Amino acid sequence: MSHIGVTMPHDQPSSPSAVRRLLTKLWFWILVAITAGIIVGFTAPGTAKELKWLADAFIQLIKTVAAPVIFCTVVVGVASLGNLRKVGKLAGITLVYFFVATTVCLALGLLAANLVKPGAGFAGAPSTSALKTAQADLTQGTGGTSAVHFVTDDVLPKSFLQPFVDNAILPVLVLAILFACATSLLAPPLRARVISGVESISKVVFGIIRIVMFAAPLGAFGGMAYTVGQFGGATLKNLGVLMVTFWATCAIFVFVILGVVTRVSGFSIFKFIRMIKDELLIVLGTSSSETVLPRFLAKLESAGASRRVVSLTVPTGYSFNLDGTCIYLTMAALFIAQAGGTHLPLGAQLGLLGLMVLMSKGAAGVSGASVVTLAASLQAFGPEFFPPATLAIGIALVVGIDRVMSEGKALTSIIGVSAGTMVIAKLAGERDDERFHAALNDPSIVRDAIEREPLDDEATAPATEHSREPEPVL
């Protein structure tokens, strides 16, 4: 008892320590910046209107790394699978499942944004006459581009480096797919060296994003101050509706859509979430799904999935199956269109969905990568639907609230990846159902297993070599 009495005073200063940790969190300073921007917008609207350059500068830095992020992520994600003819059935099942899952999430984001219309009535929408003038200028500049000209001029690259110089996202995506396919055909030792080289470059690129994200509070401050100063406080209502709609849509995906998928696969999504709740709490506290990657590799294998399935699907899912980010991308895109007074017909929305099916594969990375992908996608989609002025205002707004939705993106994505791994294991015939259901009924089985036996080098190798840093939200 005396020992306890001696140690308790050392535990009391935890509050100052917690405050110091809070002051090191980027999301905290973004929230402070948003609050400060709102205050400046209300109290000094004239000054606030002049602060838009802060948001513009931040967006310009974000766009700078868009092409390298997408190229490196797609190349490593596709090429890491190796020769699909050798990987065979498991790789085929994994790719089909992930593409279907991300397409469903993108469509769900579109559906929710169409039903709720979070950007409708935004005070910053340009006038109809201004929008028509901008569209007329764009049409005159393009000269009525045909589908053939669109493919040859806007999609296919004219050289290997020019798309990076011009920041032309669609040609970069084509180059990435070609480069990845060619790399996957190489002999394993050479393929590993090429992937390792691209992986090293990607780490530098993601390091640049980390540095740029330190300027996010300034961008959020400038964007929010300008928005409130220029258009008034009514804009905050639209942002609040967007955030609530996003979180509700993520919940619908996890508990309804993913719940049906897991039920068909023979297990309950609620029991599964209970089994992985420790990892989800870590993600919630750190805003990063990267922190739990080794634990998931061990826990899902201990729960009954084969090591071969876990080693392939978890790292690949971190790059190719970011369900929360996919919901966010299409919902934010329609929010920007609605806020800009632009009507996207059904055909255009389906085209946007198709584009983002590919672009979302470049959304993995550090905090802010989803904003990079969003800006790149809308820029590539065409100025007739997203004029530069509207896009700039819209991205500035989204940057301001991106971190507020980050935990929703991370949690939804990690649940989708881990549940998908167990579904894929069942489809491939590599899941021990007896052990899996025992773990679902008593999560301490796998918890004790991974705490008792740390991951060895073999188990962690696939994640270290081939996984992208997931979106910390992400």
Evaluate if residue 298 carries a pLDDT over 90.
no
Q: What is the largest CA-CA distance in the chain?
A: 85
Note whether 377 and 167 are within 8 A (CB). Answer: no
Question: Above 80 in pLDDT, residue 76?
Answer: no
Nearest to 398 by CA among 351, 340, 343: 340
Q: Which of 95-99, 346-350, 467-471 has the lowest mean pLDDT?
A: 467-471
Report the alpha-carbon distance of residue 352 to residue 412 in Å, rounded. Answer: 22
CB 339 within 8 A of CB 238: yes
Domain membership of residue 343 as a residue range: 27-63+88-143+213-466
Tokens 């009507």, residue located: 343
310 found inside a domain: yes
Q: What is the CATH classification number for the domain harbouring 266?
A: 1.10.3860.10
Confidence at 263, pLDDT banded by 50, 70, 90: very high
Position 312 pLDDT exceeds 50: yes
Lowest mean per-residue pLDDT among 30-44, 53-67, 133-147, 286-300:
133-147
Residue 49, pLDDT above cutoff 70: yes
Instruction: Tell me if 376 is assigned to some domain.
Output: yes
Residue 133 pLDDT? 41
Structural domain contains residue 193:
no
31 assigned to some structural domain: yes
One-letter identity of residue 468: R
pLDDT in tens, 434-457: 999 999 998 888 765 555 544 443
Residue 87 CA to chain centroid, in angstroms? Answer: 27
Residue 305: beta bridge partners? 431
144: exposed, middle or buried (C-beta count within 10 Å: 0-12, 13-18, 19+)? exposed
Distance, in Å, from the CA atom of 203 to the CA atom of 464, rounded to the nearest integer, reads 12
| Helix and strand totals (H; E) in the chain | 28, 0
Q: Is the pTM of this model over 0.75?
A: no
In a domain, 68, yes or no: no
For the cut 50, the answer to whether the pLDDT of residue 106 exceeds it is yes
Average pLDDT for 295-313: 81
Q: Using CA atoms, how far apart are residues 197 and 200, in angstroms rounded to an integer?
A: 5
Tell me what pLDDT residue 411 has.
87
What is the torsional sign of CA 288, 293, 298, 299? Answer: positive
When pLDDT is averaged across residues 406-420 and rounded to a whole number, the result is: 86
Question: What is the band of 306 on the pLDDT scale with cuts at 50, 70, 90?
Answer: confident
Q: Using one digit for the tens of pLDDT, what is the confidence trace for 156-210?
A: 888 888 888 877 766 887 888 788 888 888 888 898 899 889 888 888 887 887 7
User: From CA 426, how far away is CA 433, in angstroms rounded?
Assistant: 8
Residue 3 reports pLDDT greater than 50: no
Residues 334, 113 contacting (CB under 8 angstroms): yes
Residue whose C-alpha is closest to residue 446's, from 320, 275, 287, 315? 275
DSSP, res 111:
H
Return the structure tokens found at 218: 């300034």
Q: How far apart are CA 289 and CA 417, in angstroms?
A: 11
Report whether 57 contacts 219 (CB < 8 A): yes
Nearest to 335 by CA among 426, 457, 235, 443: 235
pLDDT reported for residue 18: 72
Residue 182 within a domain: no
Q: Which residues pair with 431 in a beta bridge?
A: 305
Q: Whose CA is closest to 356, among 199, 111, 212, 169?
A: 169
Residues contacting 1, CB < 8 A, separation 6+? none
Task: Report if residue 162 sits inside a domain.
Answer: no
Using DSSP, state whether 454 is helix, strand or coil: coil
Cα gap 420→104, rounded to integer Å = 14
Give domain status of residue 160, yes or no.
Answer: no
Predicted local confidence at residue 210, as pLDDT: 74
3-state helix, strand, coil in the chain (%, to 5): 80, 0, 20
Structure confidence at residue 461 as a pLDDT band (50, 70, 90): very low
The total of other beta-carbon atoms located within 10 Å of residue 138's CB is 15
Q: How many domains does the chain have?
A: 1
Closest to 221 (Cα-Cα) out of 405, 43, 49, 51: 51
pLDDT of residue 140: 39
